[in-house]
C-alpha cells in the first residue's frame, strides 16, 4: 500500500471514530465549516474582528456572545454580530448558528426580523444605530486587510 493510500485510510479511520463518538451530524457540520473557512479568504480574521467589535461596542466579553444563557444586552450584541457576519462572510445560517451556539432557526428568524426593522421605531432605531457603527468598522477592516479601496466585500 502506498503512503498516500495509507494516509487516506488513516483519515477515514479517524472520521469513523469521530462519528462513533460525536455522531454523523456533528462531524458533517465540522467538515462543512472547515471547507467554508478554506473558501473564505480571511474568514477567521474577519469573524474575530466582528466578535471583538461587537463586544467592545456593548462592553461585554466575546465569550458572552456564544453562551446560551446570556440575555438582554448580550442578545442584542449577538444579533448584531450574526447580521454583520452574514453580510460580510459567505456563510450559511446553519454554520453561523454553530459559531454562536444557536440553532439555524434562531438565526433565520432574526434575519427576517432584521429585514423588517424600521429606523423610525424607537427599539429598531437604537439597534440599527449600533449596527451601523459596527458595520462601518467591519467594512473598513475588510478593506484594509484585503487591500481594497471600494466598499465591496
16-32 confidence digits (pLDDT tens): 888 888 888 878 777 76
C-alpha angle 50/143/126, rounded to 5°? 45
Output the pLDDT for position 47: 92
> The domain 21-146: what is its CATH number?
1.10.1750.10
**Alpha carbons 12 and 19: distance in angstroms, whole number:** 10
Q: Which residues contact 30 (CB under 8 A, 6 or more apart)?
A: none
Question: Is the predicted pLDDT of residue 153 greater than 60, yes or no?
Answer: no
Question: For the chain, give me the number of helices (H) and strands (E)?
Answer: 7, 0
Rounded mean pLDDT, 104-129 = 91
For 61-112, what is each residue's pLDDT tens digit? 999 998 887 778 899 999 999 999 999 888 889 888 988 889 999 999 999 9
The answer on pLDDT for 38 being more than 70 is: no
pLDDT score of 136 more than 90: yes
Name the pLDDT band for 39 (thresholds 50, 70, 90): low
Q: How many C-beta neighbours within 10 Å does residue 68 have?
A: 8
CB 95 within 8 A of CB 107: no
Amino acid at each position: 500500500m502506498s503512503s498516500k493510500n495509507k494516509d487516506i485510510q488513516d483519515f477515514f479511520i479517524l472520521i469513523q471514530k469521530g462519528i462513533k463518538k460525536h455522531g454523523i451530524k456533528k462531524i458533517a457540520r465540522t467538515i462543512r465549516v472547515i471547507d467554508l473557512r478554506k473558501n473564505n479568504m480571511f474568514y477567521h480574521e474577519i469573524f474575530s474582528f466582528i466578535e471583538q467589535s461587537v463586544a467592545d461596542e456593548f462592553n461585554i466579553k466575546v465569550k458572552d456572545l456564544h453562551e446560551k444563557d446570556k440575555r438582554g444586552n448580550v442578545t442584542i450584541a449577538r444579533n448584531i454580530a450574526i447580521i454583520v457576519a452574514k453580510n460580510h462572510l459567505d456563510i450559511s445560517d446553519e454554520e453561523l448558528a454553530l459559531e454562536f451556539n444557536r440553532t439555524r432557526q434562531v438565526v433565520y428568524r432574526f434575519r427576517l426580523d432584521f429585514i423588517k426593522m424600521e429606523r423610525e421605531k424607537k427599539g429598531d432605531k437604537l439597534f440599527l444605530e449600533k449596527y451601523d457603527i459596527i458595520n462601518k468598522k467591519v467594512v473598513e477592516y475588510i478593506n484594509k486587510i484585503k487591500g481594497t479601496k471600494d466598499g465591496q466585500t
